[in-house]
A and B are shown apart, each in its own frame.
Chain A
């Protein structure tokens, strides 16, 4: 009896991942069969990986914000702001020394994004603004500063070497994707092995309880938001180097996408639970869906938007599936316990 219970619990916790893997296999099978010469080729997989890495980094940031029971609506704007400022610095220094310019750009991007994340943390922990409001405001502010500094125009003309940060490859794998993998691994380490990650998930699952058991929740919230900022800075470097340019209006659609990926991945938006494996799987699934619709429906003009429908539908479907599987589980476990 006990074994069955453990098995069920195990199946329950990985239910979401099982759905996602099934989804990925389904897409692979269908599209692979329909367009065998295009979909499952090294080039296509590689280009999907490149696209995943940018959204993926931002999603990791959003996931951490969800972990402590908050949300970060400013994560994309933060990335864009740090990219624009570091881009301007790089353009200033480009004439003197390419190496210096790139190094300075990276340092500046990370510094700006850390400051932005820290400001978010202060607003939320110190002034006690609800995270959704604080980051709604800073979202406007960060993007506004980026627009103000550039006058709304695109910055470009960076040293070619800078674009290698994303577009260079080793063994045929883009650096951008490797950066994403390393970031995901580090965050996974932070969440599962380090004290900070443990305190963060404690704070997220019940802030009051964490506070009364001696956790300095203020410090946890500020440090997690600073970390989210840092990740946004890395994302900013990757997005700027991918096209070797940055526009202050870049990536406005990414924000909702990152939330979508988190929810599909089974991250608890009320805090306390994250799933790096789920985030990785759902990123792959989302990217596959959008790529395959682009391939399959390329003769229709609205193909790009059909993926919007598919994403929205997937989100709702997974929620409904979870609802029913959760209900079946509670009913069964109720029967077992009697």
Chain B
């Protein structure tokens, strides 16, 4: 009976793990989506902050072209833009790899490769978010 109980416990654990792995993709998708949304929100806050600064410097009658030029010349934007591009590219590549993983299985794209893409996206996200975080006190005080 003891052996049977142990066998049953092992079978149950295996079943639970099997089930968990069949849902892993869904959990990964949800967490990736949420992760992207958090970084995106931070980016939107920074982009709004830059535009607010430009309007305050140029005046309320500033045109779209003038605001764009002012922001392009701002040192903070010059640092931010490549980081944001880097994050976008890394995130898009990560999603693309996951799409291939789902459609073709792990034979087409190795789990190691997928993990590397994920790591790239996280590194890029951390860089851009850390950059934005240093502006949080200013973002809070600058009113649109």
A binds B: no
Hey, which bits of chain B sit against chain A, CB under 8 A? none
Hey, which bits of chain A sit against chain B, CB under 8 A? none
